[in-house]
Every structure is written in structure tokens, then in C-alpha cells.
Structure 1
């Protein structure tokens, strides 16, 4: 029992927000008389927050480098939306080349901002604040204050389409493919968890208590299958959900299993020490902001596809949602601490709060107040934890 208590204590930071997310969901499920977890509402929750989930992944890497943030992502989302709208709606360009050009614009923006931040060493706050103003201005210039709509049907499918039910041969009343995907993902998770545990034992590292490991597997598999059921009971797996899942998996592997990913953590932990150990911190910083702008372009595509228009006011406060998601999800304000999965959990906390309070009829002003308090508590938790670890 002592070992289990030690394990829980050591992993409290990692699981605190996950526990908070579950508690918040249970509260709103009761407060909304079960509306929160209706299958249709769960799907809408994913679709409505897709842009935050994508931005939070990139923002996590920026914060890991030393508490840096990117204030321009909302304006970049609006700008690439204006570009895609101009190309596809006004110029009638096919979707694929228009998407490639749009992503290329995001890449160029990243090169521009990354150069000033990484090589000229202008603080990221200033460079991205300038970017926020520049790209918001360019968005209004391109759109002339007007909204472009509608997009082609295939573009709308990015955030509004669903994976076909390939396995529903007998006309079942739910999406069979989604359930099968849930089972496969559950088995894959258990296999990878067992493999990781065996590898740690092989290297002589101490593993978590086996009972705690079993509980963790049951909780994760239960969560996967519950989500699969909710999605299957509506229309199945949204296309944007596949995109987000691919990004989460790819960036989790990148940050935890690759050398460049470890460089980001090393730089955030102590940049001087990282430089002395041979890490080119300029390249690390440059990469994180190029990456952030590309992900902002993807988020802009996702958002414009969902609202089916390119708007001059799109993307407002997106940067604040992404930053809040990262800090709520456990990223340290000092850098060097945080995970992609944590940022996703933080984004879901914000999304559930927004959705639950909207269903209950809570006003926008009170919603902002509550979200601000949640963010403050999350960062205070990080600061207090840091202070205690030093004493």
C-alpha cells in the first residue's frame, strides 16, 4: 500500500487534470440532466473544439522551450482562412492545390517569425504580438471587411464529414466501424503499455505498482470504448477527429521518443546547460515557431471549414484558448515541463466548461470569469509545486 501511495503522489501532477476533467464532466452531466453526454453533443464537443486541440499541440512545444508563447496564432488562422476562401470561392481553385498553398503560407509565416525569435533574439512575446497585428490587418485587407462563403462541399467535409461505416453489413443501429476501431485502439494501448513496462524492467528501472498499472489500463480502455460508443451512436468518427488523433500520436512520439523532441525539453529546463551540451538552441527555437505556424494554418483550415466561411473576425482569442489549455493541462510556466496529452486534456477541460455552461444558460461574462479562475488555479498549482520541490 505504501508503494501505491508513493506512485500516486509521484504522478499526481500528471493525473490531476484528468481527474478534474472527469469530475467536471460528471458535474455537468448531472446539472444538464444528461444532455452533456448525449452522443450528438459529444460529437459536437469534438468538432467545436478542434481548432483549440490543434493549436494546443503546437503551443505546448513553444511553452516547453522556456515558457514562450505565440500570440499570433488566432490572426494566422484568420489569415489562412482568408487565403483559402479567396482561392477556392473567388478564384474557383480546386481544393488540393488551394490547401497546399494555404499550408505553404503558414510555413512561410513560421519562417518569418522564427527568424526574428531564434536568430535575432527578439522576445517571442513581441514578435508574435507584432504578428497578431500584421496578419489581422492583412486578413481585413484581403477580405475588405466582408465574409466569403460558401466553401465547396469537399472542403466543408474536413470538419463536417464522417468516416463511412465500412463494416456495417447487417444494418445495425450504430456505427460498427467506430466500435471496431475502439477495440483495436484499446488492444494497441494495452500492448504498448505492457511492452513499455517490460522494457523498463529489462533496463532495471522501477515500474509502477502492478495494481496501479491494471487500474490505469482499465481506466484508459474504458475511456476509449466509452468515446467509441458515443461516436458510434451518432454518425461515427469525424474526419477532423482522425486528423487530430494523428497529430496527437505523432507529436507524442516526437516529444517523448526522438532526440529533437528531447532537445526541446532540455532547452526549456536550462538553455545555457543545453548549449554547453552541444544543442543548437537557435535551431530548436526556430523549429518550434515554424511548427506552430503550420499547425495554426491547419487550425485555420479546420475552423473555416466548420463555419463554412472566411471571416475577418475569425480567430479572435484563439491564442488565449490554446495557452490556457496548455497551462491547465500541466505545462509549466517556466518551460521544460508538459506533454501533448496534457494539453489535449486541458483543451477538453475548457471545452467541457464552455459546453456545459452554455447548456445551463450561463452568460458569456460569467463563463469568461470561471475560465479565468480555472486558469489561475492551474498556474498557481504549478508555481506552488515548483516552490515546494526546491525546499
Structure 2
């Protein structure tokens, strides 16, 4: 990074000892210019008023007494990236820091390498934000109404939930006038990016870091484009980061996405957890994926009972039967009889093609559009689009 592009950093330490230690540490970072180092909030505020810094590295104070100051800085100077230093990295401290406006949280004593990574992440965020604003005039303008949310769910693994999510998204993208985004909310085992042969630089955790300033333009800078035309928001690469994600975060993300995308496809985890409930609440279509197996159909029946207990609108439910085999013992009519509900779409079975598609990261409907499964997915897509006027 050149001298011209050096990032201006302001330090607000919790103690004189901490101040001296970090000042010494920052001397070794050649692309940082220390604009001021204080242990006093008033001096820090005055420095910000004279010339806002790119980064504010600050301690949270005794018992979190400086969260209010961080929020004041974040509200007044939203382009300043706040890095908070905490005594312990607990769920409560992480939550408080993020909602006070912090874009990253470090544990004391601060590790130099982790500080470098935090500064680099903020620098990248600034570059992405600038790029997004520059490209905004060329952005395809959507209609005024909100986009449709297709939530893909099952309480049993192995039924092809991610396969359906990916291929439905790519099928929808066949209309060049529509904007499609795939959101991987399988926070435990999400592999949508891998199944699309994408190696994410940013995941949902990066979005959470900037959640207080999130809008439909900013969130686009975190999405990964796929050659099929869809964009992807991947799940975390490190599952332990999921403990800092809550339902409000998910609501903000989905509402921002449906403001600028025609279709938001959500790949859910195979279980009910409070965190992802907004994906059910905001769904225009809830695709319940099942397979012609006794355990899968039983799980689906239990899921339908639970959804009814939750007062989920039955008109939004869509039963999708995957892996149906004409030679199998359980037929579509058997599934319908057990569930006491019609199957809205059947996809079929082609183990060799599906496995090859997932292993190579190429969606089936993209590579083999004439395949019977691809045709069935396209048929499902067209059928669901016809149902869209039911939106409340």
C-alpha cells in the first residue's frame, strides 16, 4: 500500500500501559498512519472532529462503559471502521460491540497478526463500498415491489435440499431480466458455495460485522457472482462464528436482499433453530423437500404438524419430492397419502448426474438443461412463478 493510501488510525486505549504497547505495535505496520493515541474520550472526539479517522481502535472500558462512545462515533462517522478490544470474547461482549458499531472485535492483549487482519478487512470493506457506489448507476433496476423469498427446508439431511436450492436459483436466472440471490443459511454444514465451485472471500459473518449500516447497496458488495448469473451469500467457513449470529441479523439481511433482488433463495439447515426463523416468517414460498423413504416422509409429516402449530400459512407450503424412482417401493401417491397433502413438484432420480454436478460444482440445470431432472426443476420454477400473485 502506498504512502498516499495509508489508513489513518486513531487509538483510544483503556490504560497508559495498553496505549504504549499498541503504539509500539503500530510502528511496524507501514500502511498505517497513527493520527492520535489517547486514553481520554474527549480528546479522541476532538481529534475525530478535526479529521475523521479511517479506523478507530478502542477498548470497551471497564464493564463496557465505552460502548456508548463507540455508538456515538459510529452514528456520527459511519465511514470510520471501529475495532473494539475486549478482555474476553464472550457472546454478550461480541453482541454489545457489534451493535455499538464495531466492525471487528479483538481479545486483549491484542495479537499483532490479528490486528493486521482486522485492519485489512476494514480496508477491503472500504474498497468494496466505493466499488459498489461507482457501479450503482449500471445496476439493473428492479420493480418497486419486494422480491419473492423462496425458503428451502427439510428436517432431515440427505434429501437434496442444497441441490434443489442451487438448481432452482440457476433455473430462475434463465430469465435475464431477473436478479437472483442464493443465501446459505445452513449455518452448521452449509456447502452451497462449494457445490457451485466458489471459494468465498467473504461469508455471512462479514455481513454481520457491518450489520448496523446494512442496506441493499452495501450487502451487494459481499455477494459472490456465479457464471450462471446468480449471486451467492455463503455460510461461514468456521461454524464457531455462528454463535454471534442472531435472528435479527438474519431479518435485516433478508429484507435488504429482497429490496434489490427479484428472487431470494434461502437454503436452510435441517433443523429448527431460533436464529433462522425470519427465513420462515419472510417466506413467500416454503419448499419442504422430502424423499421417497420412510424416515424422510415421517420427518416431513412431523414438520408439517410443527409448521401448523406455528401458524405458518398453509397456502405458502410447497411439497417437493426429490429422488423419486419409478422402480422404488414408495411412490408419489404414497407420499401424498401419508402427508395428507399433494406433492407440488417431483424432481426425479439421477444419482450419477447429480453426484457429478455437486462434486464438480456445476449446477445440473446449467450444464445439462435437457436432462429430465433439469426439465422438472424448470417446470417447478414456472409453476411456482404462476402462484406468486398470492403474496400478501
TM-score under structure 2 length normalisation: 0.23
Structure ranking higher in strand proportion? 2
Greater gyration radius: 2
For CA contacts below 8 A with separation 6 or more, give which structure has more relative contact order.
Answer: 1
Structure ranking higher in helix proportion? 1
TM-score under structure 1 length normalisation: 0.23
